[in-house]
């Protein structure tokens, strides 16, 4: 299966049972995420993007269709990946280093073999000297960096990110976007990135999968043909603006965005 896509969705659907009857969250979602590819899933809130991410990790059951990771169907929680959520989800009672090492402990890997790597990872995100602080002693951006280190410590081939920068201030967010691009360029990882920010998706991605409002369907897939590494001022170019406008037009057509 070395040549196929890394992550593949085939007619995936999800129906929730709610008090007011069944809710169709996802409907026939089909697309692939290739090897070494950075793919964003972009859509308005409530379109089921986060649900799709959780389903792909085997953390939520799907109602229909197939998902495969490296050719193997996803059944039950997947462990060959790292996840970053919108909130850092750090354990308050563990110091920074021990939060990263949770991944190693639970996987029954040898702590002494990963301790050094954890320290290096933390240092590489500017957290040198904070290894023995508690999460409450860190700022929001620093906490999210710890969460990213925890998702990378076991060197997974696939990184799932669910609006990882959504709760950060604008400036921190820009830095994190640049850092994530650098990380992705240097590693061999597949990144599946959920966001509702059009510029964020266009800036980071090889391809942007645009979803419709509920029930979430794949509306269009854009291949972002911009040179790498991308710099912040690429956002002022005509090409970038064209991609952003094309995506925005879809949301406007759906009435998710209303211009005055």
Partner 1 sequence: MAMKSVEGEPKGPPATARRGRVPAWVTNYSYPLGAIVFLLVFWEIFVNAMKLPAYLLPPPSLVFGVVATQSKLLALHAVTTTMEVLLGFVMSVIIGIPLAVGIVSSRFFDRSIYPILVSSQSVPKIAIAPLFVVWFGFGTFPKVLVAFLISFFPIVISTVVGLRSVEPEMIYLIRSMGAGPMDTFRKIRFPNALPSIFGGLKIAITLSVVGAIVGEFIGADRGLGYLLLVANSNLDTKLLFAAIVYLAAIGIILFMIVERIERALIPWHVSRRTEVILESM
Residues within the interface to partner 1 (CB under 8 A):
54, 57, 59, 77-79, 81-83, 85, 87, 89, 91-93, 102-103, 105-107, 124-127, 130, 133-142, 145, 169, 171-172, 174-176, 179-180, 182-183, 186
State the Cα–Cα distance between residues 35 and 209, nearest whole angstrom. Answer: 16
- Best CA proximity match to 52, nearest among 147, 192, 196: 192
Pairing of the two strands 64-69 and 72-73? antiparallel
| Rounded Cα–Cα distance for residues 142 and 159 (Å) | 19
Could you give the angle at the alpha carbon of 154 between the alpha carbons of 201 and 122, nearest 5°? 75
Picking from 94, 71, 84, the residue whose alpha carbon sits closest to that of residue 153 is 84
Q: 36 or 133: whose CB is closer to partner 1?
A: 133
- How far is the C-alpha of 175 from the C-alpha of 165, rounded, in Å? 10
Output 73 or 140, the one with its CB closest to partner 1. 140
Shortest Å distance, C-beta 9 to partner 1: 18
CB of 96 to partner 1, least distance (A): 11
Smallest distance, partner 1 to C-beta of residue 35, A? 20
As beta bridge partners, residue 216 has 26
Q: How far is the CB of 142 from partner 1 (least distance, A)?
A: 6
For residues 116 and 238, which CB has a smaller minimum distance to partner 1 in the complex? 116
As measured in angstroms, the least distance from the Cβ of 11 to partner 1 is 24
Choose between 70 and 179: whose C-beta lies nearer to partner 1. Answer: 179
């Amino acid at each position: 299966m070395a040549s196929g896509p890394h992550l593949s969705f085939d007619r995936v659907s999800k129906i929730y049972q709610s008090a007011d009857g069944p809710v169709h969250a996802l409907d026939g979602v089909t697309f692939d995420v290739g090897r070494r590819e950075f793919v964003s899933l972009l859509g308005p809130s409530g379109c089921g993007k986060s649900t799709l991410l959780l389903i792909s990790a085997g953390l939520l059951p799907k109602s229909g269709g197939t998902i495969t990771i490296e050719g193997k169907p996803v059944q039950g929680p997947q462990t060959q990946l790292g996840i970053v959520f919108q909130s850092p989800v750090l354990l308050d009672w563990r110091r920074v280093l021990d939060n990263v090492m949770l991944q190693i402990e639970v996987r029954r890997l040898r702590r002494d073999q990963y301790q050094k790597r954890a320290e290096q990872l933390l240092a590489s995100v500017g957290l040198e000297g904070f290894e023995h602080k508690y999460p409450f002693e860190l700022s929001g951006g620093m906490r999210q960096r710890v969460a990213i280190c925890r998702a990378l410590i076991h060197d997974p081939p696939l990184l799932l990110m669910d609006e990882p920068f959504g709760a950060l201030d604008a400036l921190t967010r820009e830095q994190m976007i640049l850092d994530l691009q650098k990380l992705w360029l240097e590693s061999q990882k597949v990144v599946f990135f959920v966001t509702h920010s059009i510029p964020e998706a266009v800036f980071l991605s090889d391809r942007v999968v645009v979803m419709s409002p509920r029930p979430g369907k794949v509306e269009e897939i854009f291949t972002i043909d911009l040179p790498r590494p991308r710099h912040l001022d690429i956002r002022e170019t005509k090409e970038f603006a064209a991609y952003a406008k094309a995506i925005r037009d879809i949301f406007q057509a759906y009435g998710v965005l209303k211009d005055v």
